[in-house]
Amino acid sequence: MDVTFNASEIFEIAEQIERNGTRFYHKAAELFDEHQIRNMFLELVNWETKHQEVFRDMRKQLSHKSRELPTVGSEAGLFTPKAMAGLAVFGIKPDPSEELTGKESIVDVLKKAIIKEKDSIVYYTGLKEFIPTRADRDKIDDIIKEELRHIRILSQSLAQRQ
């Protein structure tokens, strides 16, 4: 079955992914006493929260026409933004922070976070193909740039520890 998402739904998915990321990074911050790593994870929590707001604002600013583009398959509940976000990036669990047991090292958590950020880029890149208008695809590119920034920050921290 062909599935088409409109840009509004893509941004709704992005908001859910950012909420999932917020929970993940908050739990990661709780796991470590080291000031620098804890602050980095808490900073990521703040950025994820701000990204939720950015994506929500971007969704609100979409043209009326973009909001009305059809979404095939959503009437069956198969491709709801919440379901897609859960399957896509921070795992299939409702709370992705459950993946963190407290037994992981800082390096393990950083590696896991980098993988999740990379997965989000792959997800957004794939979803971009469902968007019919160039202007809306450009907005998805903005999301990808934000995720690349997260990877740089996490990778720098990982490099300092290896």
Distance CA 145, CA 139 (A): 10
Higher pLDDT among residues 97 and 105, named by residue: 105
pLDDT of residue 133: 73
CATH tag for 7-161 (out of 1.20.1260.10, 3.40.50.300, 1.20.1280.50, 1.10.3720.10): 1.20.1260.10
The single-letter code of the amino acid at 15 is E
pLDDT of residue 83: 53
Q: CA torsion 97→98→102→105, rounded to 10°?
A: -60
pLDDT tens figures, 11-50: 787 788 888 889 999 999 999 999 999 999 999 999 889 8
DSSP letter for each residue of 49-63? HHHHHHHHHHHHHS-
Residue-range domain boundaries for the chain: 7-161
pLDDT tens figures, 46-100: 988 988 887 788 778 765 555 554 454 444 454 555 555 555 555 445 566 678 8
Distance CA 154, CA 113 (A): 7
Q: Which of 45, 53, 55 is nearest to 20 (CA)?
A: 45
pLDDT of residue 40: 94
Higher pLDDT among residues 122 and 158, named by residue: 158
